[in-house]
């Protein structure tokens, strides 16, 4: 009788507090997303102000809308986290982390402008900027076209205890190398545009190729955690980019960037054509 009553009490407690482990795990992931966003925004804003801010826009170096837009996204991220803590809706945690990916990709575009702004504008700089934008667009597509949608659905449909583990693995541990890959690529592309006709040193060449490789490798691990299988073509392209690093030190910087852009855009074109039916099913929620 006592055992039955205890079991019933345990069931009632579980039914009353089913979301507690889920909420704790996802809240941490969403909070980590906001802290990263806020820190980056504060750094940009402080650098912009130190450079002269609105009084000396040319010396400040960054477009005001970029700085203020980043800070605005940090504020939006805080709002998303507060809303998640109140509602415990898993989609809000996913939005908070996805916001980081968007901001990091935006920083790669900012890096293009900073690198190009230090040299005289010519055909090489324009071509390099276009190649950098094409690469950033390919990275955006690789994350948001299918991977993010499937991961969000997996998170939404999982049981409470599994949601906490997914939040820990997918949206904390695995997103760290994803974001790092974008930032490393941004460093490499900035150095590339500073001297498009010169040869890259070992560090910027590694950043240019290795950043995209790390990003693709991390996305494949992200897929493995949520779907159960690796993305073979992304692993192959990541390996090819790592192998490209020695060549990137002897080729002109613009040529090295062109090879990276070709690899990234070629991968997206292949996936777009090869998995058209699967993408259609995902986009319609099937």
Q: What is the per-residue pLDDT across 163-172, written as a single tens digit (0 to 9) for each?
A: 777 777 777 7
Closest CA to 102 of 189, 188, 26, 33: 33
Of 77-86, 178-187, 249-258, 273-282, least confident by mean pLDDT is: 77-86
Reported as a single tens digit per residue, the pLDDT across 122-145 is 888 889 889 999 999 999 999 888
Question: Is residue 148 a contact partner of residue 98, using CB atoms and an 8 Å limit?
Answer: yes
Closest-CA residue to 186 (of 121, 256, 110): 110
Residue 259 contacts residue 248 (beta carbons within 8 Å): yes
CA angle 5, 9, 14 (to 5 degrees): 150
What tokens does 263 get?
Answer: 């690899």
Q: Break the chain into its structural domains and give their ranges.
A: 88-283
In angstroms, the CA 53 to CA 48 distance is 5
Q: Quick one: pLDDT at residue 96?
A: 62
Q: Which residues, including other chains, have CB under 8 Å from residue 200's CB and lie 6 or more apart?
A: 188, 191, 192, 208, 248, 249, 253, 256
3-class state of residue 158 by DSSP: coil
Sign of CA dihedral 45, 51, 54, 59: negative
Q: What is the pTM of this model?
A: 0.72
Decide: 101 and 139 in contact? Cβ < 8 Å.
no
Give rounded-to-5 percent helix, strand, coil for the chain: 85, 0, 15
pLDDT in tens, 237-253: 999 999 999 999 999 99
Q: Is the pLDDT of residue 265 over 90?
A: yes
Nearby residues of 57 by Cβ (< 8 Å), 6 or more positions away: 64
Residue 9 has pLDDT above 50, yes or no: no
Give residue 15's pLDDT.
40
Q: 24: pLDDT confidence band, cut at 50, 70 and 90?
A: low
């Amino acid at each position: 009788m006592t055992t039955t009553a205890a079991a019933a009490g345990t069931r009632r407690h579980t039914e009353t507090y089913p979301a507690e482990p889920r909420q704790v795990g996802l809240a941490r992931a969403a909070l980590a997303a906001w802290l990263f966003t806020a820190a980056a925004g504060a750094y940009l804003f402080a650098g912009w102000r130190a450079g002269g801010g609105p009084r000396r826009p040319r010396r400040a170096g960054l477009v005001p809308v970029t700085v203020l837009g980043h800070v605005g996204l940090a504020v939006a991220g805080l709002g998303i986290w507060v809303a998640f803590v109140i509602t415990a809706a898993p989609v809000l945690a996913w939005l908070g982390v996805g916001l980081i990916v968007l901001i990091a990709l935006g920083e790669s575009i900012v890096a293009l402008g900073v690198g190009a702004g230090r040299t005289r504008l010519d055909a090489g700089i324009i071509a390099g900027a276009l190649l950098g934008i094409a690469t950033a667009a390919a990275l955006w597509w690789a994350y948001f076209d299918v991977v993010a949608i499937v991961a969000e659905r997996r998170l939404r449909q999982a049981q409470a205890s599994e949601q906490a583990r997914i939040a820990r693995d997918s949206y904390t541990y695995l997103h760290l190398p994803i974001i790092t890959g974008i930032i490393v690529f941004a460093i490499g592309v900035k150095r590339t545009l500073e001297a498009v006709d010169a040869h890259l040193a070992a560090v910027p060449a590694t950043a240019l190729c290795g950043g995209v490789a790390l990003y693709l490798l991390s996305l494949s691990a992200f897929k493995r955690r949520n779907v159960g299988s690796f993305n073979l073509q992304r692993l192959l392209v990541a390996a090819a980019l790592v192998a490209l690093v020695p060549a990137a030190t002897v080729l002109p910087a613009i040529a090295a960037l062109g090879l990276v852009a070709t690899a990234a855009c070629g991968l997206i074109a292949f996936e777009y054509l090869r998995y058209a039916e699967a993408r259609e099913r995902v986009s319609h929620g099937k």
